[in-house]
Amino acid sequence: MAAPNLTTLLDFETNVEDAAQIFLSTETGLAATNVNASLDQDDLELPRIEVAFELGDALDPPDEKGNAQSELEYRKYSGTLNVMVMTRGSLDGSQTQHRELRAEVRAALLLNADNFTTLDGAGPDTILPYYDVNYLRPTGTQYQVEGDVAMSALSFQMNLCIRNDAWPSA
């Protein structure tokens, strides 16, 4: 599927975060309002998942853009997907809820899980229509309690490749 323009195609952060919100909400059973992207500015509702994608280096070598265009361009990128699991720490059973939610996020981000390749009913691979995820590796977890909020920060290294058919025609 071709992106409508280069701005949309090259907004890696929004595209990856939007896709992660969809499948993490499905996998964990949390309402979509409780799974938020990095720039969402809403009230702090708990339990909550926050996702943030940080684009890293373009990976060598550059490839042909595709779409019958012979121009070379960087199509492969590395990045880090950060997922913050937050729960209220003072409620009965909150430790169990936090642990289960953290494990459900990990399960959703397994290499062979239905995550970034999940179909959303609108057509093949439309959850992340412009990229292929070529690599997804857990890189660590940090845990802390701040006041009444328990937080686990899970990090995943990701490699993306812009699909041949994703380049806009103009």
Least confident of 53-57, 124-128, 133-137, 141-145: 124-128
- Predicted structure pTM score: 0.89
Residue 13: predicted pLDDT: 96
CA-CA distance, 85 to 50, in Å (whole number)? 7
CA-CA distance, 3 to 8, in Å (whole number)? 6
Q: Please classify residue 119 by burial: count the beta carbons closer than 10 Å to its beta carbon, then call 0-12 exposed, 13-18 middle and 19+ buried.
A: exposed
Residue 131: predicted pLDDT: 94
Q: Would you call 144 helix, strand, or coil by DSSP?
A: strand
Whether residue 163 has pLDDT greater than 70:
yes
Whether residue 82 has pLDDT greater than 70:
yes
Give the pLDDT mean for 122-149.
Answer: 85
Residue 113: predicted pLDDT: 82
CA-CA distance, 35 to 84, in Å (whole number)? 10
Residue 141: which residues within 8 A CB-CB, separation 6 or more? Answer: 102, 152, 153, 154, 155
Fold of 6-163: STM4215-like (3.30.2000)
Task: Convert the pLDDT of each residue in 147-159 to its tens digit.
Answer: 889 999 999 999 9
Task: Convert the pLDDT of each residue in 9-34 to its tens digit.
Answer: 999 999 999 999 999 998 899 988 89
